[in-house]
Amino acid sequence: MMMTVLLIIVGALIALFAIGVVSFKHPVASAVSLLVGFLLVGVFYLLYGAEFVAAVQVMVYAGGIMVLYLMGVLFTDNEWIHVTRQTHLQAWIGLVLILAFFAFFGHKLFHSEYPAIENVASQTVVQKENKAEEKLGYLKRETNPRSVSVKLFSDYLIPFEAASVLLTVAVVGGIFLAKKEV
């Protein structure tokens, strides 16, 4: 009960700040509300027990990406914000599309059965242990990061590696673009 109330509150706050991102006039204000939104998404993950994902969410999105956003906003000229219209005529079409999107996902959410979350603890890893590690009890305990990493390096290895290839491509592309002489 407590959990549901918390989830509803946090979800409402996330929605509020997400609306703030698109409706604030000043880019820094919307960036700050995006930051708070990211932090609240981290809280959301925490409430669901996905601690590792929550920490990574805060570290990568709030601590890394938002800083780059804010730096980008600081570098830009903010004069035009007073003359630019915030809404367009296409907003009505957008609203219809958004409603359709939410209807679709709501339908999917309430009318589908999800597989029960597997007990990751059952997957014990065969690990080479050295002498000192035999004394360490915690290596046998199932923790959130350990189960995530086991999943990541066994069942989801190929998507994981594909993502790393994608990141490498992005890094190489960035260096290529930033180079003075090609």
Q: Dihedral through CA 52, CA 55, CA 60, CA 63, nearest 10? A: -170
Give the x/- contact pattern for other proteins in 115-134, rule: CB under 8 A: ---------------xxxx-
Rule CB under 8 A: choose which of 32, 34, 40, 41 binds other proteins. 32
Does residue number 71 form part of the binding site for other proteins (CB under 8 A)? Answer: yes
134-160 per-residue burial string, b: 16 or more CB within 10 A, e: under 16: eeeeeeeeeeeebbbebeeeeeeeeee
Rule CB under 8 A: choose which of 14, 40, 41, 62 binds other proteins. 62
Does residue number 18 form part of the binding site for other proteins (CB under 8 A)? Answer: no
Q: Are 26 and 78 in contact (CB under 8 A)?
A: yes
Q: Would you call 73 exposed, middle or buried from its count of C-beta atoms within 10 A (0-12, 13-18, 19+)?
A: middle
Q: Which is nearer to other proteins, 112 or 124 (CB)?
A: 124
Does residue number 145 form part of the binding site for other proteins (CB under 8 A)? Answer: yes
Provide the CA 138 distance to its chain's centre, in angstroms: 29
Does residue number 180 form part of the binding site for other proteins (CB under 8 A)? Answer: no
Does residue number 81 form part of the binding site for other proteins (CB under 8 A)? Answer: no
Binding segment for other proteins among 9-17, 70-78, 88-96, 161-169 (CB under 8 A)? 70-78
Output the smallest distance, CB 133 to other proteins, in A: 7
Q: Which is nearer to other proteins, 114 or 138 (CB)?
A: 138
Does residue number 51 form part of the binding site for other proteins (CB under 8 A)? Answer: yes
* CA distance linking residue 72 with residue 30, whole number of Å: 13
| Residue 14 one-letter amino acid | I
User: In the chain, at which residue ranges do the beta strands (DSSP E only) sit?
Assistant: none
Local structure of residue 121 (DSSP, 8 states): G
Binding region for other proteins (CB under 8 A): 28, 32, 35, 42, 51-52, 55-56, 58-59, 62-64, 66-68, 70-71, 74-75, 130-133, 135-136, 138-139, 143-145
